[in-house]
Amino acid sequence: MQLPLRIDPAAGMGLQAQVTDQIRQLILDGRLTPGARMPATRQLALDLGVSRNTVMGAFERLAAEGLIEAREPTGTFVAGRIVAEGPALLPLPEATTSVAAERRRRRRLKLRVEGHQVVAPHGPALPFDFWIGRPDARLFPMRHWQALLMRKLRGGARHLCDYGDPQGELALRQAIAAHVGATRGIAAAAQNILVTNGIQEGLNLLAWLLIAPGIEVVVENPCYRGAAQVFRGHGARLRPVAVDHDGLDCAALPTSAALAYVTPSHQYPLGATLSIERRQALLGWAAQAGAYVVEDDYDCDFFYDGTPLPALKSLDRHGHVIYLGTFSKSLGAGLRIGYMVLPTELREPARRAKALLNNCQPWLEQAALAAFITEGGYAEHLRRLRQSYAARRDHLCAGISHGLPGWHCGGGGSGMHLVAHLPPQGPDAEAVEKLARTQGVGVYSIARGNALLWNAGPDHPLRRVLLLGYAALSQTEISEALLRLRQAIGAH
């Protein structure tokens, strides 16, 4: 396979950067499709008249960006959907493999192996884990929750036995409508809300409804990995747009895109809040481009400094914004309850899609949560969490400032994690992550923190950024973790 690259040794840009940029563009444009095999580095170097090290450097960078992946011993492939054709990715007994390969060869059945990372970190549990977005199980309102479940079960056998409304239980949708009205400034009717199996299902449902191969989707750079993957899995062309301390650079939005996926309250992973001027610009872009904006408000319940900005959706006059919320951060991901606030024209299509995908969500958790919200227990729980988490954030920030010279914190105005910028000298984020792990401490570079980062060479400042989720650790645990972190770095 010959790639259509043009390398110009006289250009102001390094050879490796040229190779990297042009291959990246081929992938983002969909001209190199997921699963396509990359040429051998030796051959490509010969074709381009550059050294093999140059090509290998480019491949390494593209792999770090999640765009390509090596599969030993088969070769290197464009990441994403894979038409598996051998045992490389799937270790199978020989007989089964040949049956399966034969089956696919003859029938051209597609077999997708989306590169979706499971959300929780891998490997053995760490005693001091700053994993992002995990609530503290010790603060779960267990007695209250048990009482609610028991109350709902009495006389609830009919609901356990029957299919529920694909949109979600009406009582829960009414409770959510009231909640997002009061806390996020969103005027939503219960009939425009759909209960989902977490935000991830909301994203998948939207992609099923709206994305056909080739449609362009704006994502933030860096971006929540689960969103980018689900859009790419439906064939979207991703258009990463840079993020700075005011959030997404809305002046750089391509008018050719049909959808933008954004995290305005607390940019994932960098933690910026989208400024009010940029919110206006984003809505103006949506109106002009005729696009939808998907607002992922994953950890909006936690804000610490003054009054939070209302949701982007609250400014939406013309039904451009689709709002996604979740109870995974405030109660727990094991409940699997998220929701969407939909523009009116998407209400019925989304309801039908949910019925087609998996009928509906389980009844019991929905019923208990509706009562928890309506009776005020949820607001009280959020108040308590906010207090604890604010204290933990302050403690972590202070600990870093005093104990880790040259580090400074950002992104902590809201949410459940901080962004620590490392000093320009010394080990980078990935190296610190590895050192910390030897001491039982989990801290996360952007790539390991469920985020994708495009166009980031080895000297990119975001390679010196660590993500620290503080919500699940007590102040005592945070102190101990920082002590170990100092030792880990010092030992280095």
If one asks whether residue 210 binds a copy of itself (CB under 8 A), the answer comes out as yes
Binding to a copy of itself (CB under 8 A): which residues in 13-42? none
In the Cβ-directed half-sphere of 354, how many Cα atoms lie within 13 Å? 26
Query: In the complex with a copy of itself, which residue's Cβ is closer, 58 or 282?
Result: 282
In the complex, minimum distance from the CB of residue 245 to a copy of itself, in angstroms, rounded to a whole number: 30
Could you give the CA distance from residue 22 to residue 26 in angstroms, rounded to a whole number? 6
Interface pick for a copy of itself out of 297, 316, 365, 477 (rule CB under 8 A): 365
- Residue 401 contacts a copy of itself per CB under 8 A: no
Q: Which is nearer to a copy of itself, 24 or 134 (CB)?
A: 134
Residue 148 within binding range of a copy of itself, rule CB under 8 A: no
- Say which amino acid occupies 320: H
Task: Find the shortest distance in angstroms from Cβ 454 to a copy of itself.
Answer: 20
Tell me how far, at minimum, the Cβ of 291 lies from a copy of itself, in Å: 6
Q: Which is nearer to a copy of itself, 55 or 203 (CB)?
A: 203
Which residues, other chains included, contact 99 with Cβ-Cβ below 8 Å and sequence gap of 6+?
Answer: none
Torsion angle, alpha carbons of 312, 313, 314, 315, to 10: 70
Is 146 an interacting residue with respect to a copy of itself (CB under 8 A)? Answer: yes
Which three-class secondary structure state does DSSP give residue 362? coil
| Spatial distance between the Cα atoms of 379 and 386, rounded to a whole number of angstroms | 10
- Using CB under 8 A, which of the segments 6-14, 52-60, 128-136, 433-441 binds a copy of itself? 128-136
The token pair that represents 83 in the structure block: 């038409």
Q: Which of 7, 56, 209, 431 binds a copy of itself (CB under 8 A)?
A: 209
Nearer to a copy of itself, 7 or 70 (CB): 70
Which two three-digit tokens encode residue 198? 């977490």
Min CB(159)–a copy of itself separation in Å: 5
Cα 390 to Cα 475: distance, rounded to the nearest angstrom: 11
Smaller CB separation from a copy of itself, 329 or 464: 329
List binders of a copy of itself among 298-337 (CB under 8 A): 318-319, 331-336
Contacts 24+ apart (CB under 8 A), 65-74: 65/24, 65/452, 65/453, 65/454, 65/455, 65/456, 66/115, 66/225, 66/447, 66/452, 67/23, 67/24, 67/27, 67/454, 68/23, 68/27, 68/38, 69/115
Instruction: Say if strands 465-469 and 444-445 run parallel, antiparallel, or are unpaired.
Output: antiparallel
Is residue 200 involved in binding a copy of itself (CB under 8 A)? yes
Least separation in angstroms between CB 87 and a copy of itself: 9
Residue type, 478: I
Q: How far is the CB of 34 from a copy of itself (least distance, A)?
A: 13
- Provide the minimum distance between the beta carbon of 240 and a copy of itself in the complex, in angstroms, as a whole number: 19
Write out the binding residues for a copy of itself, residues 332-361 only, by CB under 8 A.
332-336, 343-346, 348-349, 352-353, 355-361
Which residues between 261 and 290 bind a copy of itself (CB under 8 A)? 289-290
Q: Is 489 helix (H, G, I), strand (E, B) or coil?
A: helix
Whether cis (ω within 30° of 0) applies to the bond prior to 4 is no
161: contact with a copy of itself by CB under 8 A: yes
CA–CA distance, 431 with 24 (Å, rounded to integer):
25
CB of 255 to a copy of itself, least distance (A): 10
How far apart are CB 462 and a copy of itself at their closest, in Å?
25
Tokens standing for residue 309: 């900005």
442, containing H or E segment? strand 441-442
Among 158, 164, 187, 145, which residue's Cα sits nearest to residue 370? 145
Query: What tokens appear for 488 in the block?
Result: 């880990």
Confirm or reject binding of residue 189 to a copy of itself (CB under 8 A): no
- Among 35-43, 52-60, 210-218, 419-427, the segment contacting a copy of itself (CB under 8 A): 210-218
Distance (Å, whole) CA 488 – CA 490:
6
171 lies in the site for a copy of itself, by CB under 8 A: no
Which residues in the 108-127 window bind a copy of itself by CB under 8 A?
Answer: 108-120
Hey, which residues between 78 and 107 contact a copy of itself (CB under 8 A)?
Answer: 84, 89-90, 92-93, 95-97, 99-100, 102-107
372 neighbors 145 (Cβ within 8 angstroms) = yes
Query: What is the closest distance, in whole angstroms, from the C-beta atom of residue 353 to a copy of itself in the complex?
Result: 6
